[in-house]
Amino acid sequence: MKKAWNKAKTLISKETGNRVCAVFSMAVILVFVSSAIHASGQAEDSTDPSKGLKAERLDMPAERLQRIDRALQGYVDRNEVAGVVAMIGRYGKIAYRGAFGMADIEAGRPIQTDTIFLITQMTKPVVSVAAMMLYEEGHFRLVDQVSKFIPEFKDMQVLVPEGDSYSLVPAENR
């Protein structure tokens, strides 16, 4: 993991100032999913004929996967994104993997399925997905007070206007 992180830092620092390709939020989520599949050691490349797996065996007809290719290539052709990488996992295996466009337009470097992306402003989606997973597993209820999990929120106060000034009063809804 440390080696991969150092490689990512090196690649990101080399691309500082260059135009880095845009990535769809869904593609980012698919990358997280595929990373989890790969990390679990269960990943097999269903698009690589040398592995002997076919997408059809994973209930993914080839003609549907070709539609994904056309759609993603269309985004690149219309200059909506410089490049895009997508991966679909099914039944713990990789059912689809595709890379279209450029990772660095100025350098003329094409994007690869293992291109490392600088992902920013993804805290809310990642935390939201994690919270939904915890909710589904029954770790909390939607009516639970935040102070049950973060004690610092127990004695919340709010500012209430009083003429030209404000005063702190205990919050009614916590």
Instruction: Encode pLDDT of 28-45 as tens digits.
Output: 334 443 344 344 343 444
Using alpha carbons only, what angle is made at residue 34 by residues 32 and 40, rounded to the nearest 5 degrees? 105
Q: How do the domains of the chain map onto residue ranges?
A: 2-118, 144-174
Distances in Å between the alpha carbon of 54 and those of 45, 107, 119, 164? 9, 35, 31, 72
* Per-residue model confidence as pLDDT tens digits over 130-160: 999 999 999 999 999 889 999 999 889 999 9
Nearest alpha-carbon partner for 118 in 3, 18, 2, 1: 18
pTM of structure: 0.45
Q: Which residue type is seen at 121?
A: Q
Q: E strands of 25-164, at which residues?
A: 83-90, 93-104, 109-110, 157-162
